[in-house]
Structure 1
Amino acid sequence: MTVRLEEMSANEFQQYLSFAIKNFADEQIKSGNWEPHEAISNAKKEYEKLLPEGQNTENHNLFTIRYGDKEVGVIWIAERTDAKGFIYDINIWEESQCKGYGKKAMQEIEIFAKENGMNSIGLHVFGHNKVARYLYEKLGYRETNIKMEKTL
C-alpha cells in the first residue's frame, strides 16, 4: 500500500480548517474540558493561535494524505524546539478508516520528520480515543503524561 503526503493546497486547507475546528470542539466537549456553548469559539481561538499565518505558518507542515488519487485524510506536524516534532492532528476520513491508511501516514510522517532534522515526535491523544491510542502504541509511541479526572 502506497500512501503519499502532499502539502495541502489553499482550498484543502480551508476545508480542513472548517472540519478541524468543529472536530476539536467536539473532542473537547466529549472530554469534559469545554461546555458546548463555548466550544467552537474556543477552538477557533486555538487554531488562530497555533496557525497565525494559516497553512504558511513557519515550522508547521500540513499534508493531505492520499492513496492513489483519493484523499483519505490529513496530518499536521510542527517542529517545536530542539529538533522535536509534534503531530497536532491526524484524521483519516470516515469512509477510509480501518484500511491501514493511518498507520502508513504515521510511518510517512516519521520519514518526513527525520529528513527535516527532527529526532523525536510527540502527540496528544484524547483518553477516550482508544483506537488512536492502540495505533500509536503499536507504532512505538509511549505515554509520557496521563491526566485523569472524575466527575462528582
Structure 2
Amino acid sequence: MNLLIAQMQEDDFPNYLAHTSQEYAKEKIKTGTWPADQALILAQAEIRSLLPQGMHTPNHHFLSLIDESGIKLGIFWLHLAPVQKEAFIYDFEIYEPFRGHKLGQLAMQNLFDYCRALGICKISLHVFAHNQRAYHVYKKLGFIETDINMTRLLH
C-alpha cells in the first residue's frame, strides 16, 4: 500500500483538535498525572499554549496520511526546528479502522523521508509508558530512549 503525506485540510483541523484533546486527557488520566475531572480542561489549555495561532502556529505542521484512493488513514502533528535540523512528533495516529496492518511503520518511514526532504536530521517523540504497542514500533524503527520518568504510588 502506498501512503501519501499531505497538509491537513483546514476544515479537518477543528475535529482533529477536539479529538486530540480528548485522547491526550485520557492518556494523562491513565498515567495518574491529571485527575479525571480536570483532564480535558488541562489538555485543552496545554494544547492552546503550544498552538497560540491554532493550525497556523509557526513551525507546527499538521499532516494527513492518505492512501492512493484518497482515504484518510491517520495524522501527524509535527513541530520543526529547521535551524537545529530537528523535528518533534507531538501526535501520530492511525485511525482505528486501519490499525493492525503495519501502517504505523509505513507511515513513520514516509515521515522520515518527508523530514529528510526538509533537511531534518533528528526526530524525537514522547510515548506514554503504558502504550507498549507504540513503544515497540518506535524501537523497531530505531528510536532510542533519552529520558525515562518513573513513578511509585504510595498508598
TM-score (norm 2): 0.94
Report SS of the residue matched to 1:37.
coil
Offset at residue 146 of structure 1 (A): 0.7
Percent of aligned pairs with the same amino acid: 34
Aligned partners of 1:126 and 1:144: how far apart in 2?
14
State the Cα distance separating 1:47 from its structure 2 match: 1.0
Task: Please give the alpha-carbon distance, in whole angstroms, between the structure 2 residues aligned to 1:84 and 1:36.
Answer: 34
Question: Which residue pairs with 1:30 in the alignment?
Answer: 30
In 2, Cα distance between the equivalents of 1:25 and 1:63? 21
Alignment RMSD, CA only? 1.0
Alignment of 1:76-95 (within 5 A): 76-80=77-81, 82-95=84-97
Q: When the two structures are superposed, what TM-score results if normalisation uses the length of structure 1? A: 0.96
In the alignment, structure 2 segments of 5+ residues that lack a partner are none
The CA deviation at 1:31 is: 0.6
Q: Which amino acid aligns with 2:78?
A: I
Q: CA separation in 2, counterparts of 1:6 and 1:117? A: 18
User: Who is 1:121 aligned against?
Assistant: 123
Aligned length: 152
* Deviation beyond 3 Å, 4+ runs, structure 1: none
Residue 76 of structure 1: how far off its partner (Å): 1.1
Could you tell me how far 1:111 is from its partner in structure 2? 1.1
Q: 2:20 maps to what in 1?
A: 20
For residue 131 of structure 1, the aligned residue among 133, 139, 145 is 133
What SS does the corresponding residue of 1:145 show, helix, strand or coil? Answer: coil
